[in-house]
Structure 1
Amino acid sequence: MTDRTILVIGTYDTKNDELAYVAERIASQGGGVLSMDVSVLGDPEDPCDISKHDVARAAGSTIEEAIAAGDENHAMQIMARGAVALATELQRAGRMHGVLILGGSMGTDLALDVCQALPLGVPKYVVSTVAFSPIIPADRLSPDIQMILWAGGLYGLNAICKSSLSQAAGAVLGAARAVEAPAAERPVVGMTSLGSSCLRYMKFLKPALEDRGFEVAIFHATGMGGMAFERIARAGGFACVMDFALPELGNLMAGSVVNAGQDRLTNAGRAGIPQIVAPGCLDLIDFAGWQDVPEAYADRPFHAHNRLIKSSALSPDERRETAREIARRLSPATAPVHVLMPLGGVEEWDKPGEPAHDPEGLAAFTNEMRRAMQPPLAFSEVDAHINHAAFADAALAVFDAWVADGTVSTNVKADA
């Protein structure tokens, strides 16, 4: 008898030994294994629970068609579609409780699709030769994905790669046993912010929203946080969002790697979730600590936050363009949107005497926000700094009105 079953996915024609080793490690701890082969050309040494033919069939294709395409990328996308369909079906049926996927760049490409398709709370472990690589964009990741670098794992078993594989086997089984999946007890407000040294409105808003019977999930808007926020919004996981930290949007527009993907500021609107939005920290552009600051930003105010991230200032013209982009992304929303503009500044260093204080830039941005935020978008100016209690009060006034008129539901979705 096993208490949890792990779906193990990989190309069994080229990685049979590694996948078999992982299965043995899971079994040695009392876990069950379902094996899925996503190979195309070859066959495993022993039959898998889910064959490559099953996978191709689930994608509406055949292995023969995948081979005939004559293109490895096209063939693996067929297998990815089939793996997604079968993994989600197995999870819904209660036949698996976590997934472990092994791969190089091809296998990782497939793994990212599978992990995005599975709901939050299902343990997702990817052992990859390209884990943490900059070739993996933020919008390909799922909110609770776990990635382990497969050191020495390109071809065949060895003592080094066994260390990674055995840890992954224990981690996914332990997670499947220990996980406390999101429970639908209170409606959730999704909020974006940064550390409290920069943005502090959550200190006012979180207890106030909790007093109103809501749970508050706050996402750190430094790339991965915004990605997770967008993925959960896309799945309809929030009753309302307070998207008050938008540096990832400015970073995306400026070409910084510190972004949350191309769909930032779009998913809540597509999912019909009411949005209260403010341009927190949209006066700065963030760069990775290892990046050279482009020459175009060399003569601007600069702040090294730590060894991982550093910031420079956006020009007035760049800030005008971000205002227009906010409007472009919010306008198609299928639920109400209310944009708040804090006239006193948009982050802690945007105050008189602080290094990012730029009255000209803030005025240019504010004027463009006034022009860009047209119906159906609602727009209000708040005569306060974003970190002042008056800003939080303005946000709560919009929220309370939406609760009163039913725009924000106080009911809990059964699938939240």
Structure 2
Amino acid sequence: MDRTILLLGTGDTKSDEMQFLADCIKAQGGTVVVMDVGVIGDPTCQVDISRHDVARAARTDNAAIVALGDENKAMTKTSEGAATLARALCEEGRVHGVLILGGTMGTDLALDVCEALPLGFPKVILTTVAFSPLLPPDRISPDVMMVLWAGGLYGLNTVCRMSLSQAAGAVLGAARAAGAVLGAARAAVTAAVGKPTIGMTSLGSASLKYMKRLKPALEARGFELAVFHTTGMGGRAFETLAARGAFACVMDFSLVEVSNDLLGSVVSAGRDRMTAAGAAGIPQIIAPGGVSLIDMRTWAEPPAGLGTREVHAHNRLIACALMNTDEKILAARAIAAKANAAKGATRVVMPMGGIDEWDRPGGPFHDPEGLQAFAKTLRDSTASDRFEIIEAHINDAAFADRVLAILDAWLADGTVARPG
């Protein structure tokens, strides 16, 4: 059960903290590989990977990084080398988790390193800006853990030692838990050969319900279904896995993150949302679920221009306002452009009866004219062989049945491989 943790920090400024973290991990029975991601001075703690090693991994040397004369440029180049080395250590099985500490500078580097590591690999960032609005959603690894580094901006003390020890325990515990189930996971993978995964996007079943009908039908066809919650990080995880070829087919039916990002909402998965499956050539069925509402934080003032619209508070975290017709047209064009760019088989299904549960006759956000304008723009902007209309609501049985018919046709002609 011994696990090795990759520990990163700037040895020229954080040697005491790095030594304390290494000692905590060792005291709990783990081992440590220490990487110095500093730029100028020498560390006083013991390191296994020097700043010179990091620079070489970035295809340069430390003197050249210093000569950049700009701390942002220097740390960006250092991040490149650190991410390359971390990925190699992970792929070689030499480390089983990563712990990175820093302020804004170290956290900037940490985001690059974590993004280079696979989903499921334990990642802990000990940072003074844990989950801060300063961190762009499209740079946060979907499974990263963050611990606030409180009271430790300069020197060790009782307060910051609590944060340091918790972070050390968190990453070692996560690595041990992952190691404990590794054998069982391998057995499960072996047993699941012939059960490829379909990646699906959705919101909560109060808004989008199709997964309830589709899950048993897809399982009956020999697939496993993974459903991702499109509230920002869920879409990030979906895109990460699609880019790595984890899905046999994609059913991307909740595109609210695409329109949210386009319209400036914080509930975003970044500009690359709805691109990974297409770039990888994964067959995909697309529907614009949720693209009638703009998501926002319930607990903050509505963004400019939305204060006069009707707002529905879903809970104390998230609220939504109805998109206007111009915004729906803009979203339709963006969705069509992404669908048209896909390399693999792609079908966009437009449900004319509504695209979320509130978008029904009598519903609080029913907007038939806006829906018609959205559908017309989507039809006119999407390649004709990739688009179809269905006279049903996205939550109706008819929508699920049409999706299954498309999948069955793709199974029949080999576009999607039949489960073995």
Assess same fold via TM > 0.5.
yes
Please give the secondary structure, in 2, of the residue aligned with 1:236. Answer: coil
Q: Distance in 1 between matches of 2:41 and 2:419?
A: 51
Structure 2: unaligned runs, 5 residues or longer = none
Counterpart of 1:296 in 2: which secondary structure? Answer: coil
Query: Percent same amino acid at aligned positions?
Result: 58
TM-score of the aligned structures, taking structure 2 as reference length: 0.94
- The more displaced of 183-192 and 145-154 is 183-192
Is 1:379–2:387 an aligned residue pair? yes
The amino acid of 2:53's aligned partner reads: D
Matched, 1:403 2:402: no
Structure 1, unmatched stretches of 5+, are: none
The amino acid across from 1:288 in the alignment is: R
Paired residues for 1:111-260 under 5 Å: 111-179=110-178, 180=181, 184=189, 185=192, 186-260=195-269
CA RMSD of aligned residues (A): 1.5
The offset of 1:397, in angstroms, is 1.0
- Which letter does structure 2 place at the counterpart of 1:98? G
Q: Aligned to 1:388, which of 390, 396, 419? A: 396
SS of alignment partner, residue 101 of structure 2:
strand
Runs of 4+, deviation exceeding 4 Å: 180-184
1:153, 1:327 → 2: CA distance? 49
Tell me the amino acid that sits aligned with residue 400 of structure 1.
D
Alignment-derived partner of residue 263 in structure 1: 272
Asked whether the equivalents of residues 98 and 176 of structure 1 are also in contact (C-alpha less than 8 Å), the reply is yes
Contact 1:143/1:232 (8 A) holds in 2: no
Instruction: Give yes or no for the alignment of 1:272 onto 2:281.
Output: yes
Tell which deviates more after alignment, 192-201 or 145-154: 145-154
When residues 386 and 40 of structure 1 are mapped into structure 2, their CA distance, relative to the original with a 3 A threshold, is same
* Cα separation, 2, equivalents of 1:330 and 1:392: 20
2:110 aligned partner, one-letter code:
A
Offset of 1:169 from its aligned partner?
0.9
The separation in 1 between residues aligned to 2:196 and 2:404, in whole angstroms, is 16
- 1:371, CA displacement in angstroms? 0.9
- Pairs within 5 Å for 1:365-376: 365-375=374-384
After superposition, the Cα gap between the structure-2 partners of 1:58 and 1:316, relative to the gap in structure 1 and judged at 3 Å, is same
State the partner residue of 1:332: 341
Counterpart of 2:50 in structure 1 is: 51
On the 8 A contact 2:128/2:148 being kept in 1, the answer is yes
Distance in 2, Cα, partners of 1:370 & 1:273:
22
Counterpart for residue 296 of structure 1: 305
| Counterpart Cα distance in 1 of 2:27 and 2:46 | 20
- The one-character-per-residue Cα deviations of 1:221-246 (angstroms, maximum 9, x if unpaired) are 11111111111112222111111011
Instruction: Say whether residues 1:315 and 2:329 are aligned partners.
Output: no
* Matched letter for residue 156 of structure 1: G
Provide the C-alpha distance between the structure 1 equivalents of 2:74 and 2:49, rounded to a whole number of angstroms.
Answer: 18
Q: Structure 1 residues 123 and 301 mapped into 2: Cα distance closer, same or farther (>3 Å)?
A: same
Amino acid at match of 1:398: I
CA shift in 2, pair 1:101/1:240, >3 Å: same
Deviation at 1:301, TM superposition (A): 2.8
Contact between 1:143 and 1:228, CA under 8 Å: does it hold in 2?
A: yes
Q: Is the 8 A contact 1:40 1:63 kept in 2?
A: yes
Cα distance in structure 1, aligned partners of 2:97 and 2:273: 28
CA contact (8 A) 1:221 1:247 kept: yes
For residues 269 and 346 of structure 1, what CA distance do their matches in structure 2 show? 22
Match of 1:230, as an amino acid? E
CA-to-partner distance for each residue in 1:50-87, whole Å, 9 max, x for gaps? Answer: 11111111111111001111011111112111111111
Q: By how many angstroms is 1:47 displaced?
A: 3.4
TM-superposed CA distance for 1:24, in Å, is 0.8
Return the letter of the residue paired with 1:265: M
Paired residues for 1:16-95 under 5 Å: 16-95=15-94
Confirm or deny: 8 A CA contact 1:247 1:281 kept in the other structure.
yes
* One-letter amino acid of the structure 2 residue matched with residue 74 of structure 1: K
| Separation in structure 2 between the aligned mates of residue 161 and residue 228 of structure 1, nearest angstrom | 31
